[in-house]
């Protein structure tokens, strides 16, 4: 039986083939041991600080917000090595891999951010990485594919199914079923079967802890709202974790509304999905009435996933966190606005959170401190955004 709680209310669990249970139990035990082992914590912290560049800054925006009552801060995970928050938890899981005496790492990636983070951690720690990526994504994200290969990872295109992230996850789980003896499945978000949602949250928890300390230092009080984008939900849960027991801090997750929630082209699993099981977890998913999984859609590949981490499902159901959705168009607008007003090019994922925060800022009628998790930088999105905005674009919004 499990040593840690495998559920968040009714959500979560371990819906995997019996064959994978021993590997998940081994991982849970390794994680428990590591949490109590000072030398593990020391090594993890040293990697985060000296290799990845933690703590990341908290930046007060200067020009973005016109409402004088509002202070909008950005938590700068975009400045982390690798270009996104992903590096935090990947370093943690790579250390766990070594702790379990495994030499290989299996991972899935959508946009290539988690794959890139996995590739860099494996290069650093001497692990052999193979990364599954939907064939469509391999085409769409060529620079990240090259990055991964440059750092020694094997990138395996998956053409089964829709050729996107969910199919890459399927393939990674199949690989793990055959190779759990020597390989760790380094899952990339706070979803999947227990203990992944808990491990990924704990290895991203420093995001929120740093925010607390930095806001207290700058403002002498807690922020009013934390805003983060939610695909699988790792950057959001990392930001929320330290504040869940303090209801005076509002937690807001922003899902991708794609072409609009009235269409089928979105990835807003909490706002519009229903309860079901995907990739080992009972959570909100996108499915048809027979239970077949439906394709998600978003302009941002990192949010394009038809399920969500089970703790977010629980936070939504209990009302502790609020979940909203932002369209492609709104996100693209925020993307340009941040570049224009602050000189920061955000990831399209993070642009969703920013877009909602800007709406909140406009509506605020009293003094308000908002912190947005700027979970990644936008370099990876430049080709995609160029193709949307066109060659005529000259910086006017």
Residue numbers annotated as active site: 86, 108, 375
Cβ at position 331, least distance to other proteins in Å: 27
Q: In the range 163-192, which residues lie near other proteins by CB under 8 A? A: 166-167, 170, 173-174, 177-180
Q: Work out whether the CA dihedral 94, 98, 104, 106 comes out positive or negative.
A: negative
Is 157 one of the binding residues for other proteins (CB under 8 A)?
A: no
Is 279 one of the binding residues for other proteins (CB under 8 A)?
A: yes
> Of 3, 4, 5, 21, which lies in the binding site for other proteins, with binding defined by CB under 8 A?
21
Is 29 one of the binding residues for other proteins (CB under 8 A)?
A: no
Length of the chain: 397
Asked if 78 and 344 count as a contact pair (C-beta separation under 8 A), the reply is yes
Cβ at position 225, least distance to other proteins in Å: 34
> Of 5, 9, 10, 19, which lies in the binding site for other proteins, with binding defined by CB under 8 A?
19
Is 291 one of the binding residues for other proteins (CB under 8 A)?
A: yes
Is 278 one of the binding residues for other proteins (CB under 8 A)?
A: yes
> Of 189, 287, 296, 373, which lies in the binding site for other proteins, with binding defined by CB under 8 A?
287
Burial of 152 (0-12, 13-18, 19+ CB in 10 A): middle
Is 359 one of the binding residues for other proteins (CB under 8 A)?
A: no
| Exposure letters 6-32 (e unless 16+ CB within 10 A, then b) | bbbeebbbbebeeebeebbbbbbebbe
For other proteins, the closer of residues 181 and 363 by Cβ is: 181
Per the listing, tokens 């027991």 go with 245
Is 376 one of the binding residues for other proteins (CB under 8 A)?
A: no
Question: For the CA atoms of 282, 283, 289, 295, what is the dihedral angle to 10 degrees?
Answer: -110
Give the angle subtended at the CA of 309 by the CAs of 224 and 238, to the nearest 5°. 45
Structure tokens at 168: 């890459």
End-to-end CA distance of the chain: 56
For other proteins, the closer of residues 23 and 206 by Cβ is: 23
Q: Which residues bind other proteins (CB under 8 A)?
A: 1-2, 13-22, 160-161, 166-167, 170, 173-174, 177-180, 275-280, 285, 287, 289-293
């Amino acid at each position: 039986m499990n040593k840690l709680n495998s559920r968040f209310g009714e959500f979560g669990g371990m819906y995997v083939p019996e064959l994978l249970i021993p590997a998940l139990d081994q991982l849970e035990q390794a994680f428990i041991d590591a949490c109590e082992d000072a030398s593990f914590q020391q090594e993890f912290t040293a990697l985060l600080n000296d290799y990845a560049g933690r703590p990341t800054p908290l930046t007060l925006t200067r020009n973005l917000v016109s409402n004088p009552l509002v202070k909008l801060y950005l938590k700068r995970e975009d400045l982390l090595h690798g270009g996104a928050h992903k590096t935090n938890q990947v370093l943690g899981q790579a250390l766990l891999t070594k702790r379990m005496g495994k030499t290989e790492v299996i991972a899935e990636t959508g946009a290539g951010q988690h794959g890139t983070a996995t590739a860099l951690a494996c290069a650093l720690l001497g692990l052999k990485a193979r990364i599954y990526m939907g064939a469509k994504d391999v085409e769409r994200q060529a620079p990240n594919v090259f990055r991964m290969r440059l750092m020694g990872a094997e990138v395996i295109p998956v053409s089964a199914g829709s050729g996107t992230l969910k199919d890459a996850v399927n393939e990674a789980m199949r690989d793990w079923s055959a190779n759990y003896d020597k390989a760790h499945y380094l899952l990339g978000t706070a979803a999947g079967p227990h203990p992944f949602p808990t491990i990924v949250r704990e290895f991203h928890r420093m995001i929120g802890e740093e925010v607390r300390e930095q806001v207290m230092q700058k403002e002498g009080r807690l922020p009013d709202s934390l805003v983060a984008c939610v695909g699988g939900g790792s950057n959001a849960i990392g930001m929320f974790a330290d504040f869940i027991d303090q209801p005076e801090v509002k937690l807001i997750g922003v899902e991708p509304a794609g072409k609009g929630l009235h269409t089928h082209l979105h990835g807003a699993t909490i706002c519009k999905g229903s309860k079901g099981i995907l990739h080992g977890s009972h959570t909100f998913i996108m499915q048809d009435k027979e239970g077949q999984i439906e394709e998600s859609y978003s302009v941002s590949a990192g949010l394009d996933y038809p399920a969500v981490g089970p703790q977010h499902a629980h936070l939504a159901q209990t009302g502790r966190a609020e979940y909203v959705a932002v369209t492609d168009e709104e996100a693209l607008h925020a993307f340009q606005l941040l570049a224009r007003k602050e000189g920061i090019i955000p990831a399209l994922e993070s642009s969703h959170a920013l877009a909602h925060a800007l709406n909140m800022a406009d509506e605020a009628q009293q003094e308000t401190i908002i912190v947005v998790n700027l979970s990644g930088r936008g370099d990876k999105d430049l080709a995609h955004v160029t193709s949307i905005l066109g060659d005529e674009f000259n910086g006017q919004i």
